[in-house]
A and B are shown apart, each in its own frame.
Chain A
Amino acid sequence: MRDLVIQSLLLYFVLTILTGVIYPGAVTMVAQLAWPQAANGSLIKDETTGGTIGSSLLGQEFTSDEYFWGRLSATTPPYNAAASSGSNLGPLNPSLLKNARARIEALKVPAGKSSKVPVDLVTSSASGLDPHISPASALFQAERVASARGLTQHEVEELIKQNTEGKQFAVFGESRVNVLQLNLALDRLNRPASSTPKPNR
Chain B
Amino acid sequence: MTGDGIFQLLLYLVVLNLLALPLGRYMARVFSSEPTWLSLLLAPLEGLIYKICRINHTQDMGWKLYAASMLTFNGFGLFAVYLIQRMQNVLPLNPQNLGAVSADSSLNTAISFVSNTNWQGYGGEVTMSYFTQMIGLNVQNFVSAATGIACLIALVRGLVRQESLGIGNFWSDMVKATLYVLLPLSLVVSILLSSQGVVQTFQPYAAYSTVEEIKSAKPSSEPHLIALGPAASQIAIKQLGTNGGGFFNVNSSHPLENPNPLTNFVECISILLISAALCHTFGKMVNDLRQGWAVLAAMSVIFLASLAICFTSESSLSPALSALGVDATSSTMQPGGNMEGKETRFGIANSALWATATTAASNGSVNSMHDSYNPIGGLVPMLLMQLGEVIYGGVGSGLYGMLVFAIITVFIAGLMVGRTPEYLGKKIEAFEVKMSSLVILFPPAVVLIGTAIAVSLEVGRSSVLNSGPHGFSEILYAFSSAGNNNGSAFAGLNANTPFYNYALGIAMFIARYWLVVPVIAIAGSLARKKRSPESLGTMPTHNALFVSLLTGVVLIFGALTFVPSLALGPIVEHLMMVSDLSQGVSAK
Residues of A whose CB lies within 8 Å of any CB of B are: 3-12, 14-16, 18-21, 23-24, 26-28, 30-32, 34-35, 38-43, 46, 49, 51-55, 57-64, 67, 71, 80-97, 100-101, 104, 109, 115-120, 122-137, 139, 167-169, 171-176, 180, 183-184, 187, 192, 195-197
What are some 7 contacts across the A-B interface (CB < 8 A)?
A: A11-B175, A91-B375, A92-B466, A124-B341, A125-B253, A132-B345, A173-B345
Q: Contact at A120–B324, with CB atoms within 8 Å?
A: no
- The 8 Å CB contact of B201, one of A39, A64, A97, is A39
Quick check: is B69 within 8 A (CB to CB) of the other chain? yes
Cα distance A34–B195 in the bound complex, in angstroms: 8
Q: Contact at B174–A11, with CB atoms within 8 Å?
A: yes
Q: Contact at B187–A115, with CB atoms within 8 Å?
A: no
Write the B1-29 contact mask toward A (1 if CB under 8 angstroms, else 0).
Answer: 00000011001000000000000000000
Cα distance A124–B253 in the bound complex, in angstroms: 12
Cα distance A151–B328 in the bound complex, in angstroms: 29
Q: Contact at A84–B250, with CB atoms within 8 Å?
A: yes
Closest to A9 in B: B76
- The 8 Å CB contact of A128, one of B80, B250, B264, B577, is B250
Quick check: is B183 within 8 A (CB to CB) of the other chain? yes
Nearest 3 CB-CB pairings of A with B: A173-B261, A88-B492, A126-B253
Q: List residues of chain B with CB within 8 A of the CB of A34.
A: 195
Q: List residues of chain B with CB within 8 A of the CB of A90.
A: 371-372, 466, 470, 473, 492, 573
Q: Contact at B255–A92, with CB atoms within 8 Å?
A: no
Question: Can you add 8 more A-B contacts, CB < 8 Å, to A20-B138, A39-B199?
Answer: A19-B141, A57-B255, A84-B254, A93-B467, A97-B321, A100-B321, A125-B341, A139-B333
Cα distance A40–B186 in the bound complex, in angstroms: 20
Write the B312-328 contact mask toward A (1 if CB under 8 angstroms, else 0).
Answer: 00000110110011111
Quick check: is B544 within 8 A (CB to CB) of the other chain? no
A-B contacts, CB under 8 A, total: 406
Q: Contact at A134–B199, with CB atoms within 8 Å?
A: no
- The 8 Å CB contact of B465, one of A49, A88, A117, is A88
Q: List residues of chain B with CB within 8 A of the CB of A130.
A: 255, 343-345
Cα distance A10–B123 in the bound complex, in angstroms: 31
Write the B189-208 contact mask toward A (1 if CB under 8 angstroms, else 0).
Answer: 01100111111111101111
Write the B117-144 contact mask toward A (1 if CB under 8 angstroms, else 0).
Answer: 0000001011000000011101101110
Q: Contact at B366–A126, with CB atoms within 8 Å?
A: yes
Q: List residues of chain B with CB within 8 A of the CB of A63.
A: 212
Cα distance A18–B53 in the bound complex, in angstroms: 14
- The 8 Å CB contact of B69, one of A8, A97, A135, is A8
Within 8 A of A (CB), among B135-180: 135-136, 138-139, 141-143, 171, 174-175, 178
Q: Given contacts A14-B49, A82-B226, A127-B250, is CB(A116)–CB(B69) below 8 Å?
A: no
- The 8 Å CB contact of A84, one of B195, B205, B248, is B248
B6 CB to nearest chain A CB (Å): 12
Q: List residues of chain A with CB within 8 A of the CB of B521.
A: none
Closest to A51 in B: B209
Closest to A99 in B: B340
Cα distance A20–B174 in the bound complex, in angstroms: 16
A165 CB to nearest chain B CB (Å): 8
- The 8 Å CB contact of B80, one of A12, A32, A40, A120, is A12
Cα distance A184–B214 in the bound complex, in angstroms: 12
Cα distance A121–B367 in the bound complex, in angstroms: 19
Q: Given contacts A120-B334, A173-B260, is CB(A87)–CB(B209) below 8 Å?
A: no
Q: List residues of chain B with CB within 8 A of the CB of A43.
A: 206, 208, 226
Cα distance A7–B175 in the bound complex, in angstroms: 12
Q: Contact at B187–A27, with CB atoms within 8 Å?
A: yes
Q: List residues of chain A with CB within 8 A of the CB of B234.
A: 24
Q: Contact at A125–B343, with CB atoms within 8 Å?
A: yes
Quick check: is B576 within 8 A (CB to CB) of the other chain? yes
Q: Contact at A88–B230, with CB atoms within 8 Å?
A: no
Within 8 A of A (CB), among B63-84: 65, 68-69, 72-73, 75-77, 80
Q: List residues of chain A with CB within 8 A of the CB of B58.
A: none
Q: Contact at B210–A39, with CB atoms within 8 Å?
A: no
Q: List residues of chain A with CB within 8 A of the CB of B311.
A: none
Q: Given contacts A14-B52, A40-B228, is CB(A92)–CB(B470) below 8 Å?
A: yes
Q: Which of A139, A175, A197 has the most CB of B within 10 A?
A: A175
Q: List residues of chain B with CB within 8 A of the CB of A180.
A: 211
Q: Contact at B210–A60, with CB atoms within 8 Å?
A: yes
Q: Contact at B366–A30, with CB atoms within 8 Å?
A: no
Cα distance A136–B77 in the bound complex, in angstroms: 50
Quick check: is B256 within 8 A (CB to CB) of the other chain? yes
Interface locus among B103-111, B437-445, B579-587: B579-587
- The 8 Å CB contact of B326, one of A12, A20, A100, is A100
- The 8 Å CB contact of A58, one of B139, B209, B255, B338, is B255
Quick check: is B262 within 8 A (CB to CB) of the other chain? yes
- The 8 Å CB contact of B72, one of A8, A109, A129, is A8
Q: Contact at B343–A126, with CB atoms within 8 Å?
A: yes
Q: Contact at A54–B372, with CB atoms within 8 Å?
A: no
- The 8 Å CB contact of B76, one of A8, A97, A100, A137, is A8
Q: Given contacts A39-B232, A135-B334, is CB(A125)–CB(B573) below 8 Å?
A: no
Quick check: is B233 within 8 A (CB to CB) of the other chain? yes
Q: Contact at A23–B183, with CB atoms within 8 Å?
A: yes
Cα distance A195–B217 in the bound complex, in angstroms: 10
Q: Contact at B211–A187, with CB atoms within 8 Å?
A: yes
Q: Which of B65, B138, B207, B264 has the most CB of A within 10 A?
A: B138
Q: Contact at A195–B216, with CB atoms within 8 Å?
A: yes
Q: List residues of chain A with CB within 8 A of the CB of B190.
A: 27
Cα distance A96–B196 in the bound complex, in angstroms: 33
Q: List residues of chain A with CB within 8 A of the CB of B211.
A: 53-54, 60, 62, 67, 180, 183-184, 187
Cα distance A92–B573 in the bound complex, in angstroms: 8
